[in-house]
Structure 1
């Protein structure tokens, strides 16, 4: 569970324990963040990410726990009275209002005059590079433009907590790249707390300072993106960051897996450990290699494969289930077909072992 964030001043930022019970599902997650932090909630479908976000927004009641923002308890504060801005996956712009009027809506609800609200809205649209679309209604906006209007609307109320629910999910690949970069710039200058919900590891790695990985309603790992990518602690996280991950018991440079053979590593450890290596570290041979310097060699067979970027990712089973990346040329030369037998080799220097 998350504890106080290093450098966080008492009373500033977000301090929450979100407990929500729905039938047999229980979400119990502690979350703390200092002003200026961008925290990503990452996890598979049904893990509880969106439920947590909706609880922070006040759209789902807490079954237990607490929610404090800048030292003020918000547990019983209605959604419209919380200093919270929300950007939903589908943006939820008012279809009958122009972009300017959509952004001005929040300041008007806070008591600003019509003129002042429009002035605030115009400034935010300019920040987003949308000044020339102020008079356009949502149906005439592209997905990327609508997303930026939604972000401007959320920021126009000067929230102390910004919630982003899969903000890039509805965009095509090219637009997603552009909007992700723009969103990163805006979040870098945001002085309050931002919480991002996503299932996309790239969005999380690029946009967030800290990741909180949620599975089955609880936190399974949290930390800086690079630390989680280097030391995953569950199969879900390993698959997310593209690593083969195993658990076993180390005795020096040998790790005996809980299920499977031993793996030789460069680390000298003792006791329960994880061992990870990327699919690119795996070399496949049709015949047992006689001159290979790899300390790790296993008999396996291909169960399937798919295109993965400019590589072919093969899924293998046998002595050690694993994934291997090959070039299309190498896959063709090897005759990569489902059911085909292979030898898989991994050099010890390409593995990474760390305490479990």
Structure 2
């Protein structure tokens, strides 16, 4: 081995093989499939978290799960379009349409959950422990039972009607106006006031997931849009097969029963005088003088008439 040259340098200097268009198409589809599967998992996570957050309390109407449903359906159609060969373009177009609606819905959910709901929540009384939890026991249904509880606010005190299983904050309740146009001061259907803090964190997480789904949905839609119009590349045959195909296409094979046409020189009606008969000696010598290399005479075709091979006989009557 030459000094100073290692196997690593030789492998590095070797030219890399250029992948074929079919391989590039397969790699691109594989990467797109991973992206769409990730979008599907994120959408299912948004659906699960949104439904769980919505069912924690009746006082807040969280809308984050709506975008997850639309994005999940669109991602499922995208996975089918990338995995199946039949109706691929139609499935990808349907996936792009549903993903587009999901992107708009996720933006709407980010605005509603992140601006209107989170800004209406003030967790300072909850963290300070100034909120009370009211329950009438397990024998009463909180949807149909109301009770008047004393509420001591920052300025004045009043009575507040709440249902069973409610966490209320008197610091956020306006006794003079009855809590009208104020922040959210009660949470119905919770088990404790500490659950409201976990609910506040879940709404923040759901809003961030919708924001990520909004960005990832735009990227997924762009990738599927670039793939839906691409066609699969056919394998090109090698040069030898192409030459053989061209040779067979250009060559003219005449059957024995084909009509005899004059050749290019116009001397004879037969394509070759040496196909069935042996030329005379003088003619052979004359042709051998013109041609440097003699041509091998072809064999007669299998359907050649037999009378052409018989010796020539003159017709006449014998005495």
Both structures adopt the same fold (TM-score exceeding 0.5): no
The structure richer in strand per residue is 1
TM-score by length of structure 2 reads 0.17
TM-score by length of structure 1 reads 0.16
The structure richer in helix per residue is 2
